[in-house]
Amino acid sequence: MRVHVADHPLITHKLTVLRDQTTPSATFRALTEELVTLLAYEATRHVRTHEVTIQTPVAQTVGLAISEPRPLIVPILRAGLGMLEGMVKLVPSAEVGFLGMVRDHDTLEPSVYAERLPDHLEGRQCFVLDPMLATGGSLLAAIEFLFERGADDVTAVCILGAPEGLEMIEKATAGRDVTIVLGALDEKLNEKGYIVPGLGDAGDRLYGTVG
């Protein structure tokens, strides 16, 4: 598994505002989108391309184009939806599929409540979007879902991660082509499975849900 943890003052600055509990939902949504675009730059470093010959007004030259089949972007609802616009801005030709998942507050087990993905993912590069990698249960379920459908290359873009979840996913996906790009790797999980220091419940903060 490849892991990339962002190390850039602009990202840390935006994360600091995102973490602040006084930041309102509208700002939280705008910052999430900006952060994803910055992280997507690293997440797409290995996007499959091929050479194309084009004519500029001055000369013929060889450049790169994103290869078929197009990459598939998969936001994990609800919170991952807040990352979609930021990602498609960078890869506008990508296809988008959806996975709805919710983690049980007591058991921390994820369950799938919605799925709208292509049946066959052979040869597709998949980019999973979820702001929080806590125990890793939700992300692992999403990654397994994609591998079962034939994907051979999955990159997850997460705004915050916990060491516990990262380690779990590394063990569970050994031998697979998995990359995780994080805005920051936080300290730990608390007894309720929240990332510390974290930012609280990403879905609630994005969409203004109270309690």
Ligand X SMILES: O=P(O)(O)OC[C@H]1O[C@H](OP(=O)(O)OP(=O)(O)O)[C@H](O)[C@@H]1O
Ligand Y SMILES: O=c1cc[nH]c(=O)[nH]1
Tokens of 200: 């609280």
Contacts (CB under 6 A) with ligand X, residues 111-130: 130
Indicate whether 75 belongs to the interface with Mg ion (CB under 5 A). Answer: no
203 binds Mg ion (CB under 5 A): yes
Q: Which is nearer to ligand X, 97 or 110 (CB)?
A: 110
* Residue 83 CB partners (closer than 8 Å, separation 6+): 32, 33, 36, 75, 129, 130, 131, 157, 159
- For ligand X, which stretch binds (CB under 6 A), given 12-20, 61-69, 116-124, 199-207? 199-207
Q: Which of 126, 132, 142, 169 binds ligand Y (CB under 6 A)?
A: 132
The reply on whether position 136 binds ligand X by CB under 6 A is yes
For residues 160 and 197, what is the distance between their CA atoms, to the nearest angstrom? 10
Expressed in percent and rounded to 5, the helix, strand and coil fractions of the chain are: 35, 30, 35
152 is in an annotated binding site: no
How many residues sit in the footprint of ligand X (CB under 6 A)?
A: 23
* Structure tokens, 19: 């973490």
Q: CA–CA separation, 44 vs 26, rounded Å?
A: 27
**Is 165 or 183 the residue whose CB approaches ligand X more closely?**
165
Go through 176-186 and write b for each residue having 16 or more CB atoms within 10 A of its CB, e for each that does not.
eebbbbbbbbb
- The site partner of 194 among Mg ion, ligand Y, ligand X, none (C-beta below 5 to 8 Å per kind) is ligand Y
Considering only residues 66-85, where is the footprint of ligand Y by CB under 6 A? Answer: 79
Per-residue contact flags (x/-) with ligand Y for residues 187 to 206, judged by CB under 6 A:
-------xx--x--xxx---
Q: How far apart are the C-alpha atoms of 141 and 83, rounded to whole Å?
A: 19
Q: Please tell me whether 61 is known to bind a ligand.
A: no
Q: Tokens standing for 208?
A: 């203004």
**Is 123 annotated among the ligand-binding residues?**
no
CB 136 within 8 A of CB 169: yes
Q: How far apart are CA 190 and CA 148, in angstroms?
A: 32
Indicate the residue among 95 and 201 with the shorter CB distance to Mg ion: 201
Show binding-site residues for 5-phospho-alpha-D-ribose 1-diphosphate: 78, 103, 130-138, 201
Interface positions with ligand X (CB under 6 A): 76, 78-79, 101-103, 108, 110, 130-139, 165, 193, 201-203
Interface positions with ligand Y (CB under 6 A): 79, 132, 134, 194-195, 198, 201-203
Interface positions with Mg ion (CB under 5 A): 201, 203
